[in-house]
Structures are given as structure tokens and as C-alpha cells.
Amino acid sequence: MPTTRRVVIAVFPDVDLLDVTGPAEVFALANRETGGRAGYQVQLAGRSRGEVTTSAGVRLVTDLCFAEVTEVTGVLDTLLVPGAVDLHPGGPVARIDRDVVAWVRTAAPQARRVASVCAGAHLLAAAGLLDGRTATTHWSTAAQLAADHPAVTVDPDPIFIRSGQVWTGAGISACMDLTLALVADDLGEEIALAVARQLVMYLKRQGGQSQFSVPLSRPPASRRDIDELRMFIADHLDGDLSAAALAARMCLSERHFARVFRQETGTSPAAYVEATRVEAARRLLESTDHPLDQVAAGCGLGSVETLHRALRKQIGTTPAAYRRRFRTTTT
């Protein structure tokens, strides 16, 4: 008989829909990929049994009320807390649902692990679960989390962070990456990657990867040809991406190209190319055991010396130190 892994997801009015359904779908696909051997049983819990309207207007139906979660039979394996935000003139503000906070404070000690998605980290923090830990959340509410909870070390950059048996994830689609990491922790990387393929995800991102890829961290250019060039750069990192070569591709003089590129992207061609190559190097360091010379060649940085210099400049660490921190071991 498969081991039952009981996953309880908190829901409350205006909860972010994908924060709930995204993880649920990942767990369901893990069950399918293993022929049911994964044993995930997902339940929704709320203040009471019945319908809950999400931020998208779609209604969910809870299986249990909060008080029933620890009363029913079956070990509570994973407690997952999604988030919600209220929109204010100064930007989004994480909503603190006091009923959820009180329940999490009571239920968390009975769970094998606890995870938050997006602004759900604010609920874990309010329950005291993040004190003394490093945590992440959606970039738009990270400053609020740090201000409200000075005992928490807030890192707004990673997609997810694991601190012991407490996991925190960044916003929106990062809920899928966090849940894939939970599956990998339970069943191994092979199953997690199989689920990622079923989801048609571009790749299974590791926790150390930034919430923003280099192309996404800058707004779309007003010129379509510059946006197309940015995609070309990402697809040809091991090629000649010098300013002269890129200018020739754009049929512009090198000086005029540099001026247009900076105007559209806010940075120089050389700085943009280096940042994109460093991002690719980070992915290789996180997800492979390739020697550093292969990593440097694969991302277009050329030499180990250049790789060291670029990582120190961009993220303040060495390739070896970065790999030790963020490498996910394949089971």
C-alpha cells in the first residue's frame, strides 16, 4: 500500500487562486506519474465547510473546517499556506487573515513540514514560524514582510527557500517550482522532472534562481527589434555577442546601436549580455555537476577566470560557493 501524504491547504476569502490550484495540480500529477504510489491526498481547509470565493472570483469548496484538520485520522504531512493581497495606492499589501494565523500556530507543530506560497509567508511570520529564519515572498510585499517582522531575514530574490522543515515560496507561478521541490524532496528529482514535463514547464527551476530572469527583469522595449535581439542573445550565449556583432545584426553603427540599446533597456549591451550569461551559469551550477570550465563555456563566459569574475560582480560570490548553497542533489 502506498504511503499517504496528507496535504492540507488553507483557503480564505480572496485567496490567490493559483496559489491553491497550482500546488494541488502538481501533487495530483505526482500521484499519476507514480501510479498512485506518491500517495498525496490534498484537502482544503477553511473557517467553515463550504464555498470560498478566491481573488479570481472562482469559488472553491473546503473539505474541512480548521478545527477538524487535526481531529480527523491521518498524519498531517504538509501544511500549505497561500496568500492574498489588498491593493492600495502605494502598491499591494499582504492580507493578514487572523483566523488562518491562529490555526497555523496551532496546526503547524503537528505537521511534518510547513510551506507558504507568495504572500502566505506573511501569515507564517504572523504565527511566529519564521522568526530566526531566512524566508522569501512575492517581491512586491517583501519590504512589508521585513518591516513587520524584523526577526525574519527576508530575501526577496529566490524562487523559494527552505529553512529546516519550513519552506517559503515567491509569487504566482513560483508556487509550481516550490511544490515540485517538495515532490523532489519526497520522491526524488526524476519524478519531479517527469511532473514538470507533464506541466509543460520550461524547466524545473531551482530555489536559488532569481524571481526575475534577465529578460523579464526589464520592461518590454518600445522597439520590437530590440526585444527580438534580447531573445536572440538568450538563445546564443556561446556565440559572438560583442557590441560590434550585435550592431551588425541590427544593421546599425556600433555607436548608434549602443545608444538605442541603453535607451530601450536601461543598460549597455555588454552589461546585458554578461547578466544573461551569469543567469545561465547559475542554472548550470544549480542543476548539473559540470566542471567549471564546461559551465563557463556553456554560458558563453569562456574561461573559469571570467566565470569567477562575473559571478563576484553580479551576485557577490564564487561559483563553488554558489553551487554548495543552491545545488539540488539528485536522488
pLDDT tens-digit profile of 264-315? 888 899 999 999 999 889 888 877 889 999 999 999 999 999 999 999 888 8
DSSP count for the chain of H helices, then E strands: 14, 13
Q: How would residue 222 be classed by pLDDT, with cut points 50, 70 and 90?
A: low
Bridge partners, residue 91, by sequence: 88
Cell numbers found for residue 280: 545561465
3-state secondary structure at position 43: strand
What distance in Å separates the CA atoms of residue 217 and residue 8, rounded to the nearest whole number?
33
Of 82-86, 200-204, 213-217, 310-314, the range with the lowest mean pLDDT is 213-217
Three cell numbers, residue 144: 512589508
Task: Return d(Cα 176, Cα 22) in angstroms, integer.
Answer: 6
Going by C-alpha positions, the residue among 112, 108, 88 that lies closest to residue 100 is: 108
For residue 291, what is the DSSP state? Answer: -
Domains identified in the chain and CATH numbers: 5-198 (3.40.50.880), 212-331 (1.10.10.60)
Q: Is 299 a catalytic residue?
A: no
Neighbours of 294 (CB within 10 A): 13
Contact 177, 162 (CB under 8 A): no
pLDDT per position as a tens digit, 49-86: 999 999 999 999 999 999 999 876 568 999 999 999 99
Q: What are the tens digits of pLDDT across the range 142-186? A: 999 999 999 999 988 888 899 999 999 987 778 888 999 999 999
Residue 83 has which C-alpha cell? 496568500
For 59-126, what is the HEC assignment? Answer: EEEECEEHHHHCCCCCCEEEEEECCCEEEECCEEEECCCHHHHHHHHHHHHHCCEEEECCCHHHHHHH
Q: Which of 118, 175, 251, 299 is catalytic?
A: 118
Q: Tell me the CA end-to-end span of the chain in Å, nearest whole number.
A: 22
Cell numbers 530555489 correspond to 207
Compute the chain's Rg from CA coordinates.
Answer: 22
Greatest extent of the chain over all pairs of C-alpha atoms, in Å? 72
DSSP state letter for 158: B
- How far apart are the C-alpha atoms of 306 and 313, rounded to whole Å? 10
Q: Chain-centre distance of CA 139, in angstroms?
A: 11
Torsion of CA 27, 29, 30, 32, to 10 degrees: 130
Which among 146, 133, 49, 28 is positioned nearest to 94, based on CA atoms? 146
Tell me the pLDDT of the chain averaged across its residues.
88
Q: What angle do CA 5, 60, 203 make, to 5 degrees?
A: 60
Question: The pTM is what?
Answer: 0.67
pLDDT confidence bin for 330, thresholds 50/70/90: very low
